[in-house]
Structure 1
Amino acid sequence: MKFPPQIGLFLLSLFFTVNAEETFDVRRHLSTVTRYHVAKEISGNSFVSSDIHDQCKPIHLNLVARHGTRAPTKKKMKEFEVLASRLVILLENVNKQKSKLPAWLWGWKSPWTRKYKGGELINEGENELYQLGIRTREKFPELFRQDYHPDLYPIKATQVSRASASAVAFGMGLFNSRGNLGPGGHRAFAVTSESRASDTMLRFHDCCQNYKGFRKSQEPAVDKLKEPILDEITQDLVTRWGLNFTRRDVSGLWFLCKQEASLLNTTDQACALFSPSQVRFLEWTDDLEVFILKGYGNSLNYRMGVPLLEDVIQSMEQSIKAKEDGLVHGSYELARLRFAHAETLLPFSCLIGLFLNGSEFDLILREQPLQLPPKPPQKRIWHASTVAPFGGNNMLVLHSCPENNSNKYFVQVLHNELPITMPGCGNSDFCPFEIFKERIAAPHLRHDYNTLCNTELKAPTSKLSQVLSWIFPADAKQPQKDEL
């Protein structure tokens, strides 16, 4: 049976749409709540690494990692209790026998009921970092063949327990079978932390008064930016399910979806309330928030991380000096390992110019704002699910290469263990150290942390307010239903 061309194209389009819906996996769209193994699957192998000369050898590794998967915080657990009470109210006049609502809604209780503490590293998070430690040693045997010593392998973590627990889990994997403790042959190792009140290296966001002021001032504007999407989805859910949901209900259900899918691997409850297209829009609103408040949305977001970048550059320079001085391999530091938070990993990724195209990198060097990540279905580089998932990490590997090369030392960047392009170095993942230092690091390192963070600044014109007025003009009354 033949169809007219228009009908044929329509049926083909419908086929691909249905197929895409069937293969849709909500666990790939959870922003910073995404599990590490899922984030690695998303990244895939789309980028082909540079050809590295056989004689190039790693001589030092810098690791900046986020903690592994954690339980909801105490604040979020209280919000789930509020949501449970709210669902009781929404369902009190609904006939359960005649209703087509999902059965789980009736009598739903938070999985974290009767828990009085939160935010801790859970078993899955421990395993993420433990396995990362094992893979790191396997990938860089030259760096980790020495017996453990704190001067060779300093491990630092913030004083927040999930970060320090992640450091311990990683170390257990990294030094597995290198000691004589227990059946696994574990060995003791040191994890050091700075006071939370003065940790400008790994918790610079907590010590930066100007950043705190900026974030507090911009959070209402970010919420305003998300409102049209939330309102549209709320109306759709009211129509679809016949319950009088509010915007707050939808936000709560979306957060519940993310926690269920990530921590419990449950995707057929809260997540099933949303269509794939709605999930993509909700993910985009999360990505906007991360971009504006923690990423490229404001230069202070990442430039306050200059103490960490200084530490990374200093460690590389010390390794180069030790190599040039002819010190024996294993007599100087081989890896500097750090464990912190999304608020650490995100700014650091921005400081080294990841997840940008070339023209955008030039903009941040001139301290000019970037456009917000484009709305679905347009493609975007910035996905928080890959930028900073649970256990997300950046490894900066310093290589020593043959002397007949015009550049003797190179930096390779691995994001979540995979090579990633550096727009500041011609979109290569293998950058001469001097170019990395001068082109990527130096423009940021000319800033002083105390000046950035603790000097009273003049209130700048809000780029976000300009963007808001551009995207949602005051006289815009046409609903965005077509985009959903």
Structure 2
Amino acid sequence: MWLANIIVLMCMEQWYSSANLYKYFGGKTLYDDVRGDIRNASKLKGCEPVSIWLLSRHGTRNPSEQNLRDMKNALTLKTDIIRNHEEGRGELGDMEIKELREYEWNPDLDATPYLLITRGYKELNEYADRINVTYFSLLKRLKAHHIRPTNEQRTIESARSFVAGLDDSLEYEIEAPLDKKKDFMLLPYLSCDLHTREAWNVTKRLSEIRKYYQTAEFQEVLASVQKRLGIQAQLSPINVTGLYNLCWSQRSTLLTGTSPWCKLFTNRDLEVLEYIQDINSNLRSGYGFPFNGHLGRLVLSDLLKKFQAEVYNTKPTFTAFFAHDSLIDMVYCALGLFHDENGIDAKRRNPHRKWRSSKITPFAANILAVLHKCRSS
């Protein structure tokens, strides 16, 4: 008897009372803030693992070019925030203002958008070590392994860090990435005109997000942040999302996982801003467009092929692909996971939604499938 055990590693939900400890930032959430632990996965009685298949997102990276532009524009508010405090306006404390004074823009960010950062290397390296502890008896007797990233620095370096975290007594070779337009399995959406025209259409996604900007709860966030900062001019959604990007970006690079920019928001503010990430990902690669799930089936066909090879030809393999959140989302859709009956509504946030990118597609999110051979009862 054969049994495939698919594991999506997530942690139990946690909530924090202090704004700077809020840890849910959509697809920019740190893996260690929400992950589970493969070492705690339930063992299948009477079963032996015989083949492993992994699809992983890259680790924590630098912001995109657009994020960087929004962050630098929002950074111009720093002087006003400090001056307002000195003149008795706003709700920030002396310590928060001191930390803002000390903050300096890192010019290296301008030249390194999207690149994997130190925390990202650590996430993949430590995850590999946990897999090694759990499945070493299988890894050391494997007849073949296939490790391949997409053709991006952040996935290539994630793959290298992952391999470095495996037992060095075993030899692993990373396969050369394919040309982006020819990588139909790990980047299927780049070759799909329908996806490019509909789901990847930034204008269409922004149109939905702007609907959320008009809701009462988002307008409350604008008012909340404006009052907290003591700024008299009307803040725009771009101002606030730029400050939000400064928050998640800096906390990604600091070992403390905190940032003075996060202290500009309350937990409630961050909850609302988090939802923007879900509106975006749902349209780009989730259930917002039915064909997203079809694109996710392509990489699952490789899973089926690898496991069938073990069942019929006794060819156990260890496969590890390193790709992006879009593909992870599409695989969820192909499997029917995290589906909300009423969808993701741009006009009304469901706090109990299943499609929550903070929980399902953080940096280094992964889907691990393990084929077991079991004794017949």
**TM-score w.r.t. length of structure 2:** 0.82
Residues 143, 334 of structure 1: 8 Å contact kept:
no
Deviation at 1:129, TM superposition (A): 0.8
Answering whether residue 334 of structure 2 is matched by residue 351 of structure 1, we say yes
Deviation at 1:63, TM superposition (A): 0.3
Answering whether residue 265 of structure 2 is matched by residue 278 of structure 1, we say no
Please list the CA deviations of residues 223-245 of structure 1 after superposition, one character each: whole Å capped at 9, or x if unmatched: 22321243331122223332122
Answering whether residue 210 of structure 2 is matched by residue 224 of structure 1, we say yes
The answer for the alignment partner of 1:250 in structure 2 is: 240
d(CA) in 2 for partners of 1:371, 1:312: 29
Residues 81, 229 of structure 2: 8 Å contact kept:
no
Deviation at 1:156, TM superposition (A): 0.9
Answering whether residue 131 of structure 2 is matched by residue 158 of structure 1, we say no
Answering whether residue 369 of structure 2 is matched by residue 385 of structure 1, we say no
TM alignment of 1:88-107, pairs within 5 A = 88=79, 90=80, 94=84, 96=86, 98-100=88-90, 101=92, 102-103=96-97, 104-105=99-100
Partner SS, residue 141 of structure 1: helix
Structure 2: gaps of 5 or more residues:
1-14
The answer for the alignment partner of 1:81 in structure 2 is: 72
Answering whether residue 105 of structure 2 is matched by residue 110 of structure 1, we say yes
Higher relative contact order (CA 8 A, sep 6+): 2
Deviation at 1:395, TM superposition (A): 0.5
Q: Decide which of 239, 253, 256 is 2:227's aligned counterpart.
A: 239
Shift in CA distance, 373/171, structure 1 to aligned 2, threshold 3 Å: farther
The amino acid across from 2:212 in the alignment is K
Deviation at 1:94, TM superposition (A): 4.3
Shift in CA distance, 52/24, structure 1 to aligned 2, threshold 3 Å: farther
Larger CA Rg, structure 1 vs 2: 1
Deviation at 1:376, TM superposition (A): 6.1
Residues 65, 394 of structure 1: 8 Å contact kept:
yes
Deviation at 1:251, TM superposition (A): 1.1
The amino acid across from 1:334 in the alignment is T
Partner SS, residue 50 of structure 2: strand
TM alignment of 1:176-255, pairs within 5 A = 176-178=168-170, 189-215=173-199, 216=201, 218-227=204-213, 228=215, 229-243=217-231, 244=233, 245-255=235-245
Residues 349, 394 of structure 1: 8 Å contact kept:
no
Shift in CA distance, 230/392, structure 1 to aligned 2, threshold 3 Å: same
d(CA) in 2 for partners of 1:57, 1:95: 63
Please list the CA deviations of residues 247-289 of structure 1 after superposition, one character each: whole Å capped at 9, or x if unmatched: 2111111111111223324535111111111111111232222
Answering whether residue 286 of structure 2 is matched by residue 289 of structure 1, we say no
Please list the CA deviations of residues 32-58 of structure 1 after superposition, one character each: whole Å capped at 9, or x if unmatched: 1111111116x999xx9777222x111
The amino acid across from 1:350 in the alignment is C
Please list the CA deviations of residues 70-100 of structure 1 after superposition, one character each: whole Å capped at 9, or x if unmatched: 1223443333222223544x45974735455
The answer for the alignment partner of 2:12 in structure 1 is: none
Residues 131, 173 of structure 1: 8 Å contact kept:
yes
Partner SS, residue 153 of structure 1: strand
Q: Please identify, of 387-396 and 231-240, the stretch whose mean Cα deviation from structure 2 is larger.
A: 231-240
Residues 296, 370 of structure 1: 8 Å contact kept:
yes
Output the aligned Cα RMSD.
3.0
Moved over 6 A (4+): 48-51
Shift in CA distance, 334/39, structure 1 to aligned 2, threshold 3 Å: same
The answer for the alignment partner of 2:140 in structure 1 is: 145
d(CA) in 1 for partners of 2:220, 2:107: 30
Residues 279, 345 of structure 2: 8 Å contact kept:
yes
Deviation at 1:28, TM superposition (A): 2.2
Question: How many residue pairs end up in the alignment?
Answer: 351
TM alignment of 1:36-47, pairs within 5 A = 36-40=31-35
Shift in CA distance, 21/375, structure 1 to aligned 2, threshold 3 Å: farther
Residues 143, 335 of structure 1: 8 Å contact kept:
no
Deviation at 1:347, TM superposition (A): 0.9
d(CA) in 2 for partners of 1:399, 1:59: 6
Residues 81, 113 of structure 1: 8 Å contact kept:
no
Partner SS, residue 398 of structure 1: strand
Residues 153, 336 of structure 1: 8 Å contact kept:
yes
Shift in CA distance, 378/98, structure 1 to aligned 2, threshold 3 Å: closer
Q: Decide which of 283, 299, 309 is 1:308's aligned counterpart.
A: 299
Shift in CA distance, 280/320, structure 1 to aligned 2, threshold 3 Å: same
**TM-score w.r.t. length of structure 1:** 0.65
Shift in CA distance, 336/374, structure 1 to aligned 2, threshold 3 Å: farther
Residues 282, 344 of structure 2: 8 Å contact kept:
no
Q: Decide which of 97, 115, 118 is 1:120's aligned counterpart.
A: 115
Deviation at 1:154, TM superposition (A): 0.9
The amino acid across from 2:263 in the alignment is A
The answer for the alignment partner of 2:7 in structure 1 is: none
Partner SS, residue 391 of structure 1: coil
The answer for the alignment partner of 1:9 in structure 2 is: none
